[in-house]
Chains A and B, each alone.
Chain A
Amino acid sequence: MDFTEEQIERYSRQIVLKEVGGRGQKKLLDSKITVIGCGGLGSPITYYLTAAGIGSIKLVDFDRVDLSNLQRQILHYTSDINKMKTQSACEKLTQLNPDPEIQIINEVLSSHNVKEILQDSDFVLDGSDNLPTKLLINDACINLGIPFTIAGVLRFNGQVLTVIPQKKTTCYRCVFGDISGNTASVSCSQAGVIGLIPGAIGCIQANEVIKYLLNIGDLIINRILMVDFLNYQFNFIKVIRNDDCPACGENPVDLINNYDYKIDDACHG
Protein backbone atom coordinates (compact mmCIF):
# COMPACT_ATOMS: atom_id res chain seq x y z
CA MET A 1 0.00 0.00 0.00
CA ASP A 2 2.72 2.45 -0.85
CA PHE A 3 1.56 5.52 -2.68
CA THR A 4 3.72 8.20 -4.21
CA GLU A 5 3.51 11.67 -2.67
CA GLU A 6 1.66 12.75 -5.80
CA GLN A 7 -0.90 9.95 -5.43
CA ILE A 8 -1.50 10.80 -1.77
CA GLU A 9 -2.19 14.41 -2.76
CA ARG A 10 -4.22 13.49 -5.85
CA TYR A 11 -6.50 11.05 -4.06
CA SER A 12 -6.48 12.78 -0.65
CA ARG A 13 -10.13 13.82 -0.75
CA GLN A 14 -11.24 10.21 -1.09
CA ILE A 15 -8.52 8.54 1.06
CA VAL A 16 -9.71 10.82 3.87
CA LEU A 17 -13.16 9.20 3.76
CA LYS A 18 -13.87 6.48 6.28
CA GLU A 19 -15.31 4.32 3.47
CA VAL A 20 -12.20 4.56 1.29
CA GLY A 21 -8.87 5.02 3.07
CA GLY A 22 -5.58 3.72 1.72
CA ARG A 23 -6.96 0.21 1.29
CA GLY A 24 -9.93 1.41 -0.72
CA GLN A 25 -7.71 3.56 -2.92
CA LYS A 26 -5.42 0.60 -3.54
CA LYS A 27 -8.46 -1.45 -4.50
CA LEU A 28 -9.51 1.19 -7.05
CA LEU A 29 -5.97 1.35 -8.46
CA ASP A 30 -5.97 -2.44 -8.82
CA SER A 31 -9.33 -2.59 -10.62
CA LYS A 32 -10.13 -3.03 -14.30
CA ILE A 33 -13.27 -1.68 -15.92
CA THR A 34 -14.65 -1.62 -19.44
CA VAL A 35 -16.82 1.21 -20.72
CA ILE A 36 -18.92 0.62 -23.82
CA GLY A 37 -19.32 3.93 -25.60
CA CYS A 38 -17.38 7.17 -25.27
CA GLY A 39 -20.40 9.42 -25.70
CA GLY A 40 -22.88 11.15 -23.42
CA LEU A 41 -22.77 8.52 -20.67
CA GLY A 42 -19.21 7.39 -21.32
CA SER A 43 -17.86 10.92 -20.92
CA PRO A 44 -18.71 11.45 -17.24
CA ILE A 45 -18.19 7.76 -16.46
CA THR A 46 -14.64 7.68 -17.78
CA TYR A 47 -13.81 11.19 -16.62
CA TYR A 48 -14.73 10.62 -12.97
CA LEU A 49 -13.40 7.08 -12.81
CA THR A 50 -10.09 8.17 -14.34
CA ALA A 51 -9.93 10.98 -11.81
CA ALA A 52 -10.76 8.53 -8.99
CA GLY A 53 -7.78 6.37 -9.96
CA ILE A 54 -9.32 3.22 -11.39
CA GLY A 55 -6.22 1.30 -12.48
CA SER A 56 -7.25 0.07 -15.89
CA ILE A 57 -9.93 1.44 -18.19
CA LYS A 58 -10.89 -0.12 -21.51
CA LEU A 59 -12.74 2.20 -23.90
CA VAL A 60 -14.87 0.66 -26.62
CA ASP A 61 -16.37 2.75 -29.42
CA PHE A 62 -16.50 2.47 -33.20
CA ASP A 63 -17.62 6.01 -33.94
CA ARG A 64 -16.00 9.32 -34.75
CA VAL A 65 -16.70 12.64 -33.07
CA ASP A 66 -19.50 14.55 -34.78
CA LEU A 67 -20.44 18.20 -34.27
CA SER A 68 -23.86 17.16 -32.96
CA ASN A 69 -22.18 15.11 -30.18
CA LEU A 70 -20.56 18.08 -28.47
CA GLN A 71 -23.78 19.29 -26.83
CA ARG A 72 -23.51 16.39 -24.36
CA GLN A 73 -20.35 14.34 -24.92
CA ILE A 74 -18.04 16.46 -22.79
CA LEU A 75 -14.88 14.44 -23.42
CA HIS A 76 -14.78 15.75 -26.99
CA TYR A 77 -13.91 19.24 -28.18
CA THR A 78 -14.68 21.08 -31.41
CA SER A 79 -11.11 20.40 -32.57
CA ASP A 80 -11.77 16.64 -32.20
CA ILE A 81 -14.48 16.47 -34.91
CA ASN A 82 -13.89 13.44 -37.15
CA LYS A 83 -11.38 11.95 -34.69
CA MET A 84 -12.08 8.45 -33.32
CA LYS A 85 -14.01 8.92 -30.07
CA THR A 86 -11.75 6.47 -28.23
CA GLN A 87 -8.69 8.44 -29.31
CA SER A 88 -10.22 11.77 -28.34
CA ALA A 89 -11.29 10.32 -24.98
CA CYS A 90 -7.89 8.77 -24.30
CA GLU A 91 -6.12 12.10 -24.94
CA LYS A 92 -8.24 13.91 -22.33
CA LEU A 93 -8.18 11.11 -19.78
CA THR A 94 -4.42 10.64 -19.81
CA GLN A 95 -4.00 14.37 -19.32
CA LEU A 96 -6.45 14.30 -16.43
CA ASN A 97 -4.66 11.47 -14.65
CA PRO A 98 -1.66 9.50 -15.90
CA ASP A 99 -2.23 6.68 -13.37
CA PRO A 100 -4.87 4.57 -15.16
CA GLU A 101 -3.83 2.37 -18.03
CA ILE A 102 -6.19 3.34 -20.85
CA GLN A 103 -6.84 0.78 -23.55
CA ILE A 104 -8.84 1.65 -26.65
CA ILE A 105 -10.84 -0.66 -28.87
CA ASN A 106 -12.23 0.76 -32.11
CA GLU A 107 -14.83 -1.88 -32.80
CA VAL A 108 -18.59 -2.29 -32.82
CA LEU A 109 -19.43 -4.50 -29.86
CA SER A 110 -20.99 -7.63 -31.34
CA SER A 111 -21.68 -11.24 -30.44
CA HIS A 112 -18.36 -12.08 -32.15
CA ASN A 113 -16.09 -9.93 -29.97
CA VAL A 114 -18.09 -9.21 -26.82
CA LYS A 115 -16.71 -12.00 -24.62
CA GLU A 116 -13.12 -11.35 -25.59
CA ILE A 117 -13.47 -7.62 -24.90
CA LEU A 118 -15.26 -7.95 -21.56
CA GLN A 119 -13.70 -11.08 -20.07
CA ASP A 120 -10.93 -9.56 -17.97
CA SER A 121 -13.05 -6.77 -16.47
CA ASP A 122 -13.97 -6.38 -12.81
CA PHE A 123 -16.96 -4.26 -13.82
CA VAL A 124 -18.59 -3.23 -17.11
CA LEU A 125 -20.44 0.02 -17.79
CA ASP A 126 -22.93 0.45 -20.58
CA GLY A 127 -22.77 3.83 -22.22
CA SER A 128 -24.35 2.71 -25.48
CA ASP A 129 -27.30 4.40 -27.14
CA ASN A 130 -29.25 1.37 -28.29
CA LEU A 131 -31.19 -1.56 -26.84
CA PRO A 132 -29.52 -4.38 -28.80
CA THR A 133 -26.10 -3.39 -27.40
CA LYS A 134 -27.52 -3.16 -23.88
CA LEU A 135 -28.98 -6.65 -24.21
CA LEU A 136 -25.68 -7.95 -25.60
CA ILE A 137 -23.75 -6.46 -22.66
CA ASN A 138 -26.32 -7.91 -20.27
CA ASP A 139 -26.14 -11.41 -21.73
CA ALA A 140 -22.34 -11.49 -22.04
CA CYS A 141 -21.72 -10.16 -18.53
CA ILE A 142 -24.10 -12.68 -17.00
CA ASN A 143 -22.41 -15.45 -18.96
CA LEU A 144 -18.97 -14.27 -17.81
CA GLY A 145 -20.11 -13.50 -14.25
CA ILE A 146 -19.09 -9.84 -14.43
CA PRO A 147 -21.11 -7.17 -12.58
CA PHE A 148 -22.36 -4.31 -14.73
CA THR A 149 -24.54 -1.23 -14.84
CA ILE A 150 -26.82 -0.26 -17.71
CA ALA A 151 -28.34 3.15 -18.24
CA GLY A 152 -30.60 4.88 -20.67
CA VAL A 153 -31.38 8.54 -21.32
CA LEU A 154 -34.01 10.26 -23.37
CA ARG A 155 -35.39 13.81 -23.40
CA PHE A 156 -35.34 14.81 -19.70
CA ASN A 157 -35.31 11.27 -18.34
CA GLY A 158 -32.77 8.73 -17.26
CA GLN A 159 -32.76 5.25 -15.83
CA VAL A 160 -30.14 3.00 -14.26
CA LEU A 161 -30.02 -0.70 -13.39
CA THR A 162 -27.04 -2.54 -11.90
CA VAL A 163 -26.74 -6.31 -12.14
CA ILE A 164 -24.55 -8.54 -9.95
CA PRO A 165 -24.60 -12.00 -11.58
CA GLN A 166 -23.01 -13.69 -8.53
CA LYS A 167 -25.95 -12.54 -6.42
CA LYS A 168 -28.45 -13.44 -9.13
CA THR A 169 -30.01 -9.99 -9.14
CA THR A 170 -32.68 -9.05 -11.67
CA CYS A 171 -31.10 -8.55 -15.09
CA TYR A 172 -31.84 -6.11 -17.90
CA ARG A 173 -33.43 -8.85 -19.99
CA CYS A 174 -35.68 -9.88 -17.08
CA VAL A 175 -37.14 -6.37 -17.21
CA PHE A 176 -37.05 -5.44 -20.87
CA GLY A 177 -37.14 -8.91 -22.42
CA ASP A 178 -36.98 -9.31 -26.13
CA ILE A 179 -37.71 -5.83 -27.38
CA SER A 180 -34.70 -5.34 -29.62
CA GLY A 181 -36.88 -5.71 -32.71
CA ASN A 182 -39.40 -3.21 -31.45
CA THR A 183 -39.43 -0.20 -33.76
CA ALA A 184 -40.83 1.91 -30.94
CA SER A 185 -37.38 1.95 -29.37
CA VAL A 186 -35.63 5.17 -30.27
CA SER A 187 -32.07 6.35 -29.88
CA CYS A 188 -30.86 9.83 -29.07
CA SER A 189 -30.45 10.73 -32.71
CA GLN A 190 -34.16 10.13 -33.20
CA ALA A 191 -35.35 11.81 -30.05
CA GLY A 192 -33.59 14.63 -28.28
CA VAL A 193 -31.92 14.76 -24.92
CA ILE A 194 -30.74 17.62 -22.76
CA GLY A 195 -26.95 17.29 -22.57
CA LEU A 196 -26.63 17.18 -18.82
CA ILE A 197 -29.02 14.21 -18.48
CA PRO A 198 -26.45 11.62 -19.62
CA GLY A 199 -23.96 13.66 -17.56
CA ALA A 200 -25.94 13.14 -14.37
CA ILE A 201 -26.90 9.54 -15.14
CA GLY A 202 -23.31 8.63 -16.10
CA CYS A 203 -22.18 10.00 -12.74
CA ILE A 204 -24.61 7.64 -11.01
CA GLN A 205 -23.17 4.73 -13.03
CA ALA A 206 -19.65 5.74 -12.00
CA ASN A 207 -20.82 5.86 -8.38
CA GLU A 208 -22.12 2.30 -8.74
CA VAL A 209 -18.64 1.08 -9.73
CA ILE A 210 -16.89 2.80 -6.84
CA LYS A 211 -19.45 1.46 -4.36
CA TYR A 212 -19.26 -2.05 -5.78
CA LEU A 213 -15.46 -2.12 -5.74
CA LEU A 214 -15.30 -0.77 -2.19
CA ASN A 215 -18.27 -2.88 -1.05
CA ILE A 216 -20.07 0.10 0.47
CA GLY A 217 -23.62 1.43 0.42
CA ASP A 218 -26.61 0.16 -1.54
CA LEU A 219 -26.47 -0.53 -5.26
CA ILE A 220 -29.28 -0.07 -7.76
CA ILE A 221 -30.01 -3.80 -7.86
CA ASN A 222 -33.43 -5.44 -8.06
CA ARG A 223 -34.81 -1.97 -8.71
CA ILE A 224 -34.53 0.59 -11.46
CA LEU A 225 -33.77 4.20 -10.73
CA MET A 226 -36.03 6.38 -12.85
CA VAL A 227 -35.16 10.05 -12.91
CA ASP A 228 -37.32 12.76 -14.40
CA PHE A 229 -35.24 15.93 -14.53
CA LEU A 230 -38.15 18.00 -15.86
CA ASN A 231 -40.16 17.58 -12.66
CA TYR A 232 -37.30 16.43 -10.41
CA GLN A 233 -38.73 13.08 -9.57
CA PHE A 234 -36.33 10.37 -8.46
CA ASN A 235 -38.12 7.04 -8.16
CA PHE A 236 -37.11 3.45 -7.65
CA ILE A 237 -39.18 0.78 -9.32
CA LYS A 238 -38.79 -2.67 -7.85
CA VAL A 239 -38.01 -5.26 -10.52
CA ILE A 240 -38.31 -8.98 -9.92
CA ARG A 241 -36.06 -11.60 -11.46
CA ASN A 242 -37.69 -13.82 -14.08
CA ASP A 243 -36.94 -17.48 -13.35
CA ASP A 244 -37.54 -18.21 -17.04
CA CYS A 245 -35.19 -15.44 -18.24
CA PRO A 246 -33.05 -16.88 -21.05
CA ALA A 247 -30.04 -14.90 -19.76
CA CYS A 248 -30.11 -15.29 -15.97
CA GLY A 249 -32.96 -17.76 -15.31
CA GLU A 250 -32.84 -21.33 -14.09
CA ASN A 251 -32.21 -22.72 -17.57
CA PRO A 252 -30.07 -20.15 -19.36
CA VAL A 253 -29.66 -20.24 -23.13
CA ASP A 254 -26.43 -19.52 -25.05
CA LEU A 255 -27.78 -16.20 -26.27
CA ILE A 256 -24.45 -14.83 -27.51
CA ASN A 257 -24.18 -17.52 -30.17
CA ASN A 258 -27.87 -17.91 -30.96
CA TYR A 259 -29.69 -14.64 -30.52
CA ASP A 260 -29.95 -12.11 -33.34
CA TYR A 261 -29.08 -8.84 -31.65
CA LYS A 262 -29.50 -6.75 -34.85
CA ILE A 263 -26.55 -4.65 -33.67
CA ASP A 264 -25.71 -3.44 -37.18
CA ASP A 265 -29.20 -2.03 -37.65
CA ALA A 266 -28.97 -0.25 -34.33
CA CYS A 267 -25.46 1.12 -34.72
CA HIS A 268 -25.47 2.14 -38.34
CA GLY A 269 -29.19 2.62 -38.98
Chain B
Amino acid sequence: MMLVMVEKMNITKLDIRGKVCPMTFVYTKLYLEKMNKGEILEVMLDFPVAVENIPASCKQQKIGNVIDIKEVNLDKKTWIITIKKI
Protein backbone atom coordinates (compact mmCIF):
# COMPACT_ATOMS: atom_id res chain seq x y z
CA MET B 1 0.00 0.00 0.00
CA MET B 2 2.74 2.39 1.04
CA LEU B 3 4.70 1.62 -2.09
CA VAL B 4 1.78 2.59 -4.33
CA MET B 5 1.39 5.89 -2.56
CA VAL B 6 5.07 6.70 -2.95
CA GLU B 7 4.85 5.89 -6.63
CA LYS B 8 1.83 8.12 -7.01
CA MET B 9 3.67 10.96 -5.36
CA ASN B 10 6.56 10.50 -7.77
CA ILE B 11 4.61 10.89 -10.97
CA THR B 12 6.11 13.50 -13.26
CA LYS B 13 3.73 15.01 -15.77
CA LEU B 14 4.86 16.24 -19.15
CA ASP B 15 2.49 18.08 -21.47
CA ILE B 16 3.88 18.14 -25.00
CA ARG B 17 0.66 18.76 -26.85
CA GLY B 18 1.49 20.62 -30.05
CA LYS B 19 4.93 19.00 -30.37
CA VAL B 20 5.66 16.66 -33.27
CA CYS B 21 8.22 13.88 -33.79
CA PRO B 22 11.08 13.71 -33.10
CA MET B 23 10.66 16.52 -30.53
CA THR B 24 8.07 14.41 -28.70
CA PHE B 25 10.72 11.80 -27.96
CA VAL B 26 13.43 14.42 -27.29
CA TYR B 27 11.33 15.92 -24.46
CA THR B 28 10.28 12.51 -23.13
CA LYS B 29 13.91 11.37 -23.10
CA LEU B 30 15.19 14.52 -21.36
CA TYR B 31 12.59 14.09 -18.61
CA LEU B 32 13.30 10.38 -18.17
CA GLU B 33 17.04 11.11 -17.92
CA LYS B 34 16.40 13.45 -14.99
CA MET B 35 14.25 10.90 -13.14
CA ASN B 36 15.26 8.07 -10.82
CA LYS B 37 14.85 4.41 -11.68
CA GLY B 38 11.29 3.23 -10.99
CA GLU B 39 9.73 6.70 -11.14
CA ILE B 40 6.75 7.31 -13.39
CA LEU B 41 6.41 9.78 -16.24
CA GLU B 42 3.05 10.67 -17.73
CA VAL B 43 3.34 12.20 -21.18
CA MET B 44 0.34 14.02 -22.62
CA LEU B 45 0.54 14.45 -26.39
CA ASP B 46 -1.60 14.94 -29.46
CA PHE B 47 0.67 13.94 -32.35
CA PRO B 48 -0.75 10.54 -33.41
CA VAL B 49 2.50 9.07 -34.79
CA ALA B 50 4.18 9.62 -31.41
CA VAL B 51 1.81 7.15 -29.76
CA GLU B 52 3.74 4.41 -31.54
CA ASN B 53 7.09 6.16 -31.81
CA ILE B 54 7.63 7.01 -28.16
CA PRO B 55 7.14 3.48 -26.82
CA ALA B 56 9.33 2.09 -29.64
CA SER B 57 12.12 4.61 -29.00
CA CYS B 58 11.98 4.09 -25.21
CA LYS B 59 12.40 0.38 -25.83
CA GLN B 60 15.21 0.81 -28.37
CA GLN B 61 17.19 3.09 -26.08
CA LYS B 62 16.28 1.11 -22.95
CA ILE B 63 15.28 4.21 -20.99
CA GLY B 64 11.74 3.35 -19.96
CA ASN B 65 8.95 0.77 -19.99
CA VAL B 66 5.59 1.94 -21.27
CA ILE B 67 3.02 0.65 -18.80
CA ASP B 68 -0.09 2.34 -20.13
CA ILE B 69 -1.38 4.24 -23.14
CA LYS B 70 -4.79 5.79 -22.88
CA GLU B 71 -6.80 8.05 -25.14
CA VAL B 72 -8.46 11.01 -23.49
CA ASN B 73 -11.30 13.00 -24.95
CA LEU B 74 -10.32 16.62 -25.17
CA ASP B 75 -10.98 19.12 -27.99
CA LYS B 76 -8.39 17.30 -30.02
CA LYS B 77 -7.53 13.59 -29.96
CA THR B 78 -5.06 13.31 -27.08
CA TRP B 79 -3.14 10.50 -25.44
CA ILE B 80 -1.46 9.94 -22.10
CA ILE B 81 1.48 7.56 -22.19
CA THR B 82 2.65 6.28 -18.81
CA ILE B 83 6.32 5.29 -18.70
CA LYS B 84 8.32 3.75 -15.87
CA LYS B 85 11.96 4.84 -15.83
CA ILE B 86 14.39 1.91 -16.02
- Interchain CB contact under 8 A, B22 and A18: no
CB of A16 within 8 A of chain B?
A: yes
Contact partners of A9 in chain B: CB under 8 A: 23
- The CA of A30 and the CA of B66, in the complex, are separated in Å by 32
In angstroms, how far is the closest chain A Cβ from the Cβ of B37? Answer: 15
Q: Tell me the dominant secondary structure on chain A's binding face.
A: helix
Which of B27, B29, B30, B34 has the largest count of A CB atoms less than 10 A from its CB? B30
Q: Which of B22, B33, B34 contacts A12 (CB 8 A)?
A: B22
Produce 1/0 per residue, A10-41, CB < 8 A to B.
00110110100111000000000000000000
- Interchain CB contact under 8 A, A8 and B26: yes
- Interchain CB contact under 8 A, A1 and B26: no
| Chain B residues within 8 Å of chain A by Cβ, number | 11
Contact partners of B73 in chain A: CB under 8 A: none
Q: Which of B23, B29, B60 contacts A21 (CB 8 A)?
A: B29
- Interchain CB contact under 8 A, A8 and B29: no
Contact partners of A15 in chain B: CB under 8 A: 26, 29-30
- Interchain CB contact under 8 A, B23 and A1: no
Contact partners of A12 in chain B: CB under 8 A: 22-23, 26
The B-contacting residues of A in range 66-125, CB under 8 angstroms, are: none
Binding site for B on A (CB under 8 A): 1, 3, 8-9, 12-13, 15-16, 18, 21-23
| A and B contact pairs by CB, cutoff 8 A, 7 listed | A3-B30, A12-B26, A15-B26, A15-B29, A21-B30, A21-B33, A23-B33
